[in-house]
């Protein structure tokens, strides 16, 4: 996600042999630890840094921008994202209050820190989860198998990788509802070291291993609830684990562009990117809180999430901003779908260790991650169990990131 690393580097291409990026219809395998070639570093990519700032840069330029703290979308492969829905977008009106608190509250105690820790320990054991590396492929394959094991044979789950032209696949776990209206819960699975992305380690405990295991634990409790009650959700519910967020929201753009082209009706998308670091907040004498992003998001969904936090979490929320294209919710927004983003704290107090070898579990609070898990589980059930949705035709852009 965010970047706070001083300028340095660009020797990586000289330190290793080249590798070949596979064609879009293939899944390639890169050698462990290989850095990008000079040809790849000089490859031109079209990026968007704001609604009006679009420019061609090299892959090396992209890394330099991230080291300078600049967020962007790499739109090279998905320049038409959002164009198909410009005349058919609907503004979703969310429930005024919680409808299922008596059913959801007892489930919150089933969220387990030990499960989060166990999953995160394994997830951070990969040298890196850089999306172009073989480690990234291996970590994605492990995550897919872990999600499958967590579902434990639940018969109504549709689980599959979403392949890309790089080795690391995104993952989609779909629980069909009575309606095709779809609620999406997302996190990104890749990590990056902004000094030497393909050589140095990137454990990515907080960014975004924390979000990955947070939504996985919410997924576990939800699946067990559906199994035990033998009920079907009203809305379709999906959990997404995106590849290549650190490359410019590449994986999530591919998915939401596909959804746009196939007419998928996504009525809410929540991104969880970094859910475990609270030390700066506490050191500043501030109360532990959940950071609710208020810029470039859907205001109606964001207001509903605030209500969810107030009703179901043990800590308050704080409003904060993160700028344009700061995580994968931006892809949903650009595709015309209402999206929101919740982070571990006020953005200024979020984790400084990210994108380095020091993004480690020892800096994280699993108690805090449980709070994010409560919000995730409650939001998923409140929205997917709701029978009646109000939608009105309009030019609302679903989040402002056109």
From first to last of its 402 residues, the chain has per-residue pLDDT tens of: 654 443 333 333 323 322 223 333 332 332 233 334 445 678 899 999 999 999 999 999 999 999 999 999 999 999 999 998 765 677 899 999 999 999 999 999 999 999 999 999 999 999 999 999 999 999 999 999 999 999 999 999 999 999 999 999 999 999 999 999 999 999 999 999 999 999 999 999 999 999 999 999 999 999 999 999 999 999 999 999 999 999 999 999 999 999 999 999 999 999 999 999 999 999 999 999 999 999 999 999 999 999 999 999 999 999 999 999 999 999 999 999 999 999 999 999 999 999 999 999 999 999 999 999 999 999 999 999 998 766 664 444 444 443
Domain-located, residue 41? no
CB 154 within 8 Å of CB 223: yes
Supply 263's token pair.
Answer: 């007419």
**Environment class of residue 30 by beta-carbon count within 10 Å: exposed (0-12), middle (13-18) or buried (19+)?**
buried
Split into its structural domains, the chain has a count of: 1
Q: Is residue 124 part of a domain?
A: yes
**33: region left, alpha or beta (phi > 0 left; psi from -120 to 50 alpha):** left
CATH number of the domain encompassing residue 121: 3.40.630.10
pLDDT tens string 310-320: 999 999 999 99
- Residue 247 burial by Cβ neighbours in a 10 Å radius (0-12, 13-18, 19+): buried
Q: Indicate whether 78 belongs to any domain.
A: no
pTM tops 0.85, yes or no: yes
Is 224 part of any domain? yes
Would you say the C-alpha torsion 329, 331, 332, 333 has a positive or negative sign?
A: positive
95 is written with which tokens? 């429930």
Q: Report pLDDT digits (tens) over 380-402.
A: 999 999 987 666 644 444 444 43
Residue 392: per-residue pLDDT: 60
Q: Which domain holds residue 219?
A: 90-393
Residue 30 domain flag:
no
Report how far residue 327's alpha carbon sits from residue 76's, in angstroms, rounded to the nearest whole number.
Answer: 17
The residue to which tokens 């959801």 are assigned: 104
76 assigned to some structural domain: no
Partners of 88 in the β-ladder: none
On whether residue 198 sits in a domain, the answer given is: yes
Token output for 2:
């965010």
Q: Locate tokens 């979000």: which residue?
A: 211
Please give the pLDDT value at position 387. 86
pLDDT on residue 88: 62
Side-chain half-sphere CA neighbours of 92 within 13 A: 26
**What pLDDT, on the 0 to 100 scale, is given for residue 4?**
45
Q: Is the dihedral of CA 84, 86, 87, 90 positive or negative?
A: positive
User: Quick check: 99 and 381 in contact, CB under 8 A?
Assistant: no
Query: For 96-247, where are the E strands, in sequence order?
Result: 158-162, 170-175, 179-188, 235-242
224 class by beta-carbon count within 10 Å (0-12 exposed, 13-18 middle, 19+ buried): middle
C-beta of residue 187 within 8 angstroms of C-beta of residue 208: yes
Is residue 57 a part of any domain in this protein?
A: no
């Amino acid at each position: 996600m965010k970047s706070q690393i001083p300028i340095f580097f660009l020797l990586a291409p000289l330190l290793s042999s080249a590798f070949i990026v596979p064609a879009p219809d293939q899944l390639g395998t890169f050698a462990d630890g290989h850095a990008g070639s000079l040809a790849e570093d000089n490859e031109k990519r079209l990026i968007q840094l704001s609604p009006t700032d679009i420019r061609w840069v090299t892959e090396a330029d992209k890394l330099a921008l991230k080291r300078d703290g600049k967020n962007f979308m790499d739109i090279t492969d998905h320049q038409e994202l959002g164009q198909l829905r410009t005349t058919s977008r609907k503004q979703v009106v969310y429930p005024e209050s919680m409808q299922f608190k008596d059913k959801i509250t007892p489930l919150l105690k089933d969220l387990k820190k030990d499960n989060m820790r166990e999953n995160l320990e394994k997830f951070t054991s990969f040298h890196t989860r850089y999306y172009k590396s073989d480690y990234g492929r291996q970590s994605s394959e492990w995550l897919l198998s872990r999600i499958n094991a967590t579902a434990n044979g639940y018969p109504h789950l549709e689980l599959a990788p979403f392949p890309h032209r790089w080795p690391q696949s995104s993952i989609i776990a779909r629980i069909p509802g009575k309606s095709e209206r779809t609620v999406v819960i997302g996190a990104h699975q890749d990590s990056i070291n902004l000094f030497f992305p393909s050589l140095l380690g990137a454990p990515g405990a907080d960014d975004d291993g924390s979000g990955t295991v947070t939504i996985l634990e919410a997924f576990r409790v939800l699946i067990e609830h559906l199994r035990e009650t033998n009920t079907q959700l009203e809305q379709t519910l999906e959990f997404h684990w995106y590849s290549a967020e650190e490359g410019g929201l590449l994986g999530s753009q591919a998915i939401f562009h596909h959804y746009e082209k196939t007419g998928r009706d996504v009525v809410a998308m929540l991104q969880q990117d970094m859910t475990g670091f609270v030390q700066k907040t506490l050191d500043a004498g501030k109360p532990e809180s959940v950071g609710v992003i208020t810029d470039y998001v859907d205001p109606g969904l964001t207001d509903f999430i605030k209500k969810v936090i107030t009703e179901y979490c043990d800590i308050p929320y704080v409003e904060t901003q993160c700028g344009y294209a700061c995580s994968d919710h931006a892809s949903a927004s650009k595709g015309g779908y209402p999206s929101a983003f919740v982070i571990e704290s006020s953005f200024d107090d979020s984790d400084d260790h990210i994108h380095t070898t020091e993004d480690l579990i020892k800096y994280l609070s699993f108690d805090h991650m449980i709070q994010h898990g409560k919000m995730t589980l409650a939001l998923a059930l409140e929205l997917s169990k709701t029978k009646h949705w109000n939608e009105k035709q309009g030019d609302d852009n679903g989040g402002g990131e056109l």
